[in-house]
Chain A
């Protein structure tokens, strides 16, 4: 039963609204949909010379800086405040994503496999897809990618070897903009695997799909409260959903696996609408960077040793002669 180990609020009607004056209410009610539709319009109409991956990276960084500013000005919970130490730690993992993981990805990641498939593909077979309206293409790319991530994430919570890689991410005790990058690099590599790169032959649709991830998925880890519209929280993942997933309550953490489309969780019965403030594992123990790096291997080794340890024969009773 949810909430037996740590407090979790279940049900939208029980979740507080943004507090403050009318201007603040207005901004934090309309911010999310305005940014989403503005970004969709931008990528839909941007000239080909602008609609490039480098522009998307620039927008992504600028958007995250803006959200860090919002976190600073109006934190959702004081207990999730971004400190200098948390910022440094988070940025280290972000840095690994931009450097080490990209390097590894270019050799053994999905990009290599996708390129091999693309080279062996008969393009005529994809003409029907390329001929669909752009927004439909973007939706399909985003949804198919998220569908894959949903099952990888759910697998991580249900199969011990995968859980070992994902567990360090669940030791975060607060949600901030860059917390999505916190975790063991093996997990970050695995969760990055997907079919998203397959669609790079449709750059505009792929960029539109990417912007859905940015303008929706980013809110999974953020210390800001929004009055998220009802339709949004029905379709999309939110801070509230993801806080339940990170709750210290075990049952609550087995929910809300998708990254962007919470409707996938609704389809498979794993969605819990609610929120939690008390996050983490082992009562909120903060895992150090060093432990995060070795955890899957050290814990895996410990488990293997226990499993294969020779049991000592201890007869219950000595049989009588």
Chain B
């Protein structure tokens, strides 16, 4: 498909993905789609894409431009690429009531990934609980272990450690109380789910603002 054809195809994509019900898809795809617009000065309608051009001349980025539309795609983009969060998008200059307006519609797989990550870790928590229930030893076995543990040695202490005042080690048999720590616990998975949920909210707001600021800064540069 040539660039102008693609641009024509993608023109409605600023508001929804092609071939999808715009209302339904937009209800869900805000999760990983970022849309926005910036008012341009009247003289900027012709050179706006020239000013934004350096943002798309990055490793792993390909783009096609027509007079009013820029379509880009990124693959294995560099970590320090200022638009690394985005994997593709369309920028379009339209004539508004008060002058030209730059509309943009960007997609981000990492935002979707971060949105889904809490579900993954909640699943891990459930798996940990399920495996823990399967693995619970019988009372007889536990008692047998305790009996054998009581036969353990008294732990010696070196005179240097005694002189320096290090606490005396516990007897080996009391080590059993720590064994609860070794049981797989779902807590880390719950904590991680919460961290990713918080990171998603931060990222969705932050990256939306950062990209707007980036476009604004680039457009204002002489």
Interface residues of A (CB under 8 A from B): 44-48, 51-54, 79, 81, 83-89, 91-92, 95, 98-100, 102-103, 106, 123-124, 127, 130-134, 173-174, 201-204, 284-289
The smallest C-beta distance from A137 to any residue of chain B, in angstroms, reads 9
Other-chain residue from A79, A99, A130, A287 in contact with B156 (beta carbon distance below 8 A): A130
The smallest C-beta distance from A119 to any residue of chain B, in angstroms, reads 9
B184-203: contact bitstring with A at CB < 8 Å (1 yes, 0 no)? 10001100100110010011
Nearest B residue (CB) for A79: B80
A288 touches B124 (CB 8 A): no
- Identify which of residues 85-113 in chain B touch chain A, using a CB-to-CB cut-off of 8 Å: 85, 110, 113
For the complex of A and B, the 4 pairs showing the least CB-CB separation, nearest first, are A98-B188, A99-B124, A95-B192, A133-B158
Nearest A residue (CB) for B192: A95
Bound: A311/B128 CA distance, A: 49
- Identify which of residues 117-131 in chain B touch chain A, using a CB-to-CB cut-off of 8 Å: 117, 121, 124-125, 127-128, 131
Other-chain residue from A48, A89, A173 in contact with B169 (beta carbon distance below 8 A): A48
Chain A residues, Cβ within 8 Å of B189: 95, 98-99
Interface of A is mostly: helix
B76 touches A134 (CB 8 A): no
- Identify which of residues 158-198 in chain B touch chain A, using a CB-to-CB cut-off of 8 Å: 158, 160-161, 164-167, 169-170, 172, 175, 178, 181, 184, 188-189, 192, 195-196
Chain A residues, Cβ within 8 Å of B79: 83, 85-86, 173-174, 286
Tell me the count of chain B residues lying within 8 A, CB to CB, of chain A.
48
A46 touches B121 (CB 8 A): no
Nearest A residue (CB) for B170: A48
Chain B residues, Cβ within 8 Å of A84: 85, 199, 202-203, 206-207
The smallest C-beta distance from A173 to any residue of chain B, in angstroms, reads 5
B152 touches A123 (CB 8 A): yes
Tell me if B1 is interfacial: C-beta within 8 Å of chain A: no
The smallest C-beta distance from A122 to any residue of chain B, in angstroms, reads 11
B166 touches A134 (CB 8 A): yes
Chain B residues, Cβ within 8 Å of A284: 59, 78
Chain B residues, Cβ within 8 Å of A134: 158, 161, 166
Chain B residues, Cβ within 8 Å of A204: 166-167, 169
B77 touches A286 (CB 8 A): yes
Pairs A–B under 8 Å by Cβ, sample size 30: A44-B166, A45-B165, A45-B167, A48-B167, A53-B178, A81-B80, A85-B79, A86-B79, A88-B199, A95-B121, A95-B189, A95-B192, A95-B196, A98-B188, A102-B188, A103-B131, A106-B184, A127-B156, A131-B156, A201-B172, A202-B155, A204-B166, A204-B167, A285-B76, A286-B60, A286-B76, A286-B77, A286-B78, A286-B79, A287-B76
Bound: A131/B117 CA distance, A: 47
A103 touches B167 (CB 8 A): no
Chain B residues, Cβ within 8 Å of A87: 199
The smallest C-beta distance from A125 to any residue of chain B, in angstroms, reads 11
Bound: A253/B166 CA distance, A: 42
Nearest A residue (CB) for B199: A88
